[in-house]
């Protein structure tokens, strides 16, 4: 392989992972629209605004987190249940594709604010939970946790595709790919909701925030609740051909 081919291949890999990362936090470039772009831009401005002007407003952070969490998990449960609002989206927008794109845009918005709210609640309520640990060791530990969690989540999203990350199969109520057993799924049954959530704990640990830890736990419990009540049953019914 020539040097130019190696560079081209490296650039392709970096671009792919960058696109996956951007998609994971709420903005899917390949499905971008003016409305989506404006919405995510305003959301980013909001995140910057509260971090600059209300960096330690714990009460607002708690409210923001709770609202984000309720809308995020509530939206998934209400829309993606067997007889959920996904049917309304399809009827309202005329076809499965248009209905899905609208659903994806809303879920992306909720993804973004769920992510920001968890980080904000930790940074706005710093504490001394881990003051007994040396700062250098704490930095190394947190960095390893954050990078590992984020890397696992990216690799899992790459293995299943961004469409599955956004639960397009559940939205359509049918299989859109073969059951994945590659990447992290070869070793972990649910890397997205498991190790993929570690970065939330890493952020809370870095700030020594009790509220951040509680928020990370609540978020993980709720996404696993959605998984066991809805997603796992769908997987068994559609991909594994078992259950109801």
- Check the CA dihedral 28-30-35-38 and report its sign: positive
| Residue 244: predicted pLDDT | 56
Three-state SS string over the chain comes to: CCHHHHHHHHHHHHHHHHHHHHHHCCCCHHHCCHHHHHHHHHHHHHHHHHHHHCCCCHHHHHHHHHHHHHHHHHHHHHHHCCCCCHHHHHHHHCCHHHHHHHHHHHHHHHHHHHHHHHHHHHHCCCCCCCCCCCHHHHHHHHHHHHHHHHHHHHHHHHHHCHHHHCCHHHHHCCCCCCCCCCHHHHCCCCCCCCHHHHHHHHHHHHHCCHHHHHHHHHHHHHHHHHHHHHHHHHHHHHHCCCCC
Task: State pLDDT tens for residues 118-165.
Answer: 999 999 999 988 777 778 888 899 999 999 989 999 999 999 999 999
Contact 122, 58 (CB under 8 A): no
Length of the chain: 244
Q: Is the pLDDT of residue 10 over 80?
A: no
Distance CA 136, CA 141 (A): 9
Residue 230, CA distances (Å) to 171, 178, 244 in order: 12, 19, 11
Query: So what's the pLDDT on residue 67?
Result: 97
Per-residue pLDDT tens digits for 44-97: 999 999 999 999 999 999 999 999 999 999 999 999 998 999 999 999 999 999
Nearest to 183 by CA among 172, 192, 174: 192
pLDDT, mean of residues 24-41? 95
Q: Which of 62 and 3 is assigned the larger pLDDT?
A: 62
Q: Pick the more confident residue, 104 or 17.
A: 104
> Tell me: the pLDDT tens digits for 193-206?
888 889 999 999 99
pTM over the 0.95 mark: no
What's residue 242's pLDDT? 67
Q: Residue 21 above 80 pLDDT?
A: yes
Domain spans of the chain, in order of start: 3-26+33-239
Under the banding of pLDDT at 50, 70 and 90, the label for residue 191 is confident
Q: Mean pLDDT across the stretch 213-229?
A: 95
Band of residue 243 on the pLDDT scale cut at 50, 70, 90: low
pLDDT above 70: residue 224: yes
Q: Considering the chain, what percentage of its residues have pLDDT values greater than 70?
A: 98
pLDDT at 81: 92
Question: Rounded CA gap, 112 and 18, in Å?
Answer: 16
Q: What is the pLDDT of residue 179?
A: 80
């Amino acid at each position: 392989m020539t040097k130019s081919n190696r560079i081209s291949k490296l650039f392709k890999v970096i671009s792919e992972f960058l696109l996956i990362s951007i998609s994971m936090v709420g903005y899917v470039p390949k499905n971008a629209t003016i409305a989506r772009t404006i919405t995510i831009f305003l959301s980013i401005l909001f995140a910057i605004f509260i971090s600059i002007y209300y960096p330690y407003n714990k009460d607002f952070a708690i409210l923001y987190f709770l609202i984000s969490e309720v809308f995020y998990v509530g939206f998934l449960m209400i829309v993606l249940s067997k007889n959920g609002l996904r049917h309304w989206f399809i009827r309202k927008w005329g076809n499965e594709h248009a209905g899905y794109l609208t659903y994806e845009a809303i879920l992306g918005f909720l993804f973004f604010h769920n992510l920001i709210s968890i980080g904000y609640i930790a940074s706005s309520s710093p504490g001394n939970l881990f003051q007994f640990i040396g700062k250098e060791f704490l930095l190394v530990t947190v960095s390893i946790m954050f990078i590992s969690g984020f890397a696992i989540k990216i690799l899992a999203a790459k293995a299943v595709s961004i469409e599955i990350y956004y639960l397009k199969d559940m939205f359509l109520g049918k299989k859109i790919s073969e059951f994945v057993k590659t990447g992290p799924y070869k070793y972990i049954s649910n890397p997205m909701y498991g190790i993929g959530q570690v970065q939330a704990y890493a952020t809370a640990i870095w700030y020594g925030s009790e509220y951040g830890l509680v928020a990370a736990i609540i978020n993980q419990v709720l996404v696993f609740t959605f998984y066991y009540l809805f997603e796992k049953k769908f997987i068994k019914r559609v991909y594994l051909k078992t259950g109801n």
